[in-house]
Structure 1
């Protein structure tokens, strides 16, 4: 008479399978665990590095935005070149700024390329340098007209 097959029994229940099951290691070997940990460490190190670079990039962008706001504020303080020559340097919010005003005539011409009969315009090239801790973060160059004739 045949015995009914019990499908719930483990495959190692018979004598033949018991020998094979005993030879099969259970779990991971030490080498496999070390390789997995090394791969995980490399992945975490690269993730840490990329997050650090991203935060440095954000800080750099924020510093440039602040420097640009300081430069715009300094330039907005004077409509004419004479206004900017009164105060050539200063500090605002931890930022140091310096203004250089250089007279520079601007030659005008008409559509045909002939020089304007009124002569060149009196203007000044204004350079604003914004720095923090001795490192220049931004240099802004623009032109401002003079208020009065010489």
Structure 2
């Protein structure tokens, strides 16, 4: 004996509308997942370039322990990075008058501000990274005139 509740028959399974809604939700979730994975891969690639740029800058800095009195001005290309090194004498900030007067009488090591600029292409986008540090001025060799 079959029983019916009112005039409706009992339905088993999914309707076409429910199936379409489920597919739409799944498509949106997969799209967000692919977007986040693509962004992560792009960030990893940028990080690799930045690490390589840091290694090039470190190797440039390790090539010199000090800077000549006339400065360090050099440029070149290495490992896909165009680099440029420029230095200028470092001017200490003005302190108390007694401190600046006593520092001229002391044998104070002069410093140079060294700026290393690295440029590279990340896909179609140009990238630039800049490093600033201080290096001491090279002391003159015996018999050489100090500037």
Deviations 1:26-82 (A, max 9, x none): 321110000000000011001011111111111111111111111111111111213
Q: Larger C-alpha radius of gyration, 1 or 2?
A: 1
Question: Is the CA contact 1:88–1:98 (under 8 Å) kept in the aligned structure 2?
Answer: yes
Unmatched runs of 5 consecutive residues or more in structure 2? 141-145
Q: In structure 1, which of residues 101, 121, 128 is the aligned counterpart of residue 116 of structure 2?
A: 128
Matched with 1:4 is none
Q: CA RMSD in A?
A: 2.8
Given the two structures, how large is their TM-score scaled by the length of structure 1?
0.74
Unmatched runs of 5 consecutive residues or more in structure 1? 1-14
What is the Cα deviation at residue 104 of structure 1? 2.2
Matched with 1:62 is 48
Give secondary structure in 1 for the equivalent of 2:87: strand
Whether 1:96 aligns to 2:82 is yes
Distance of 1:89 and 1:135 partners within structure 2: 18
Give secondary structure in 2 for the equivalent of 1:143: strand
Deviations 1:102-135 (A, max 9, x none): 12244798xxx73323265322110001110383
Number of residue equivalences:
131
Give secondary structure in 1 for the equivalent of 2:2: helix
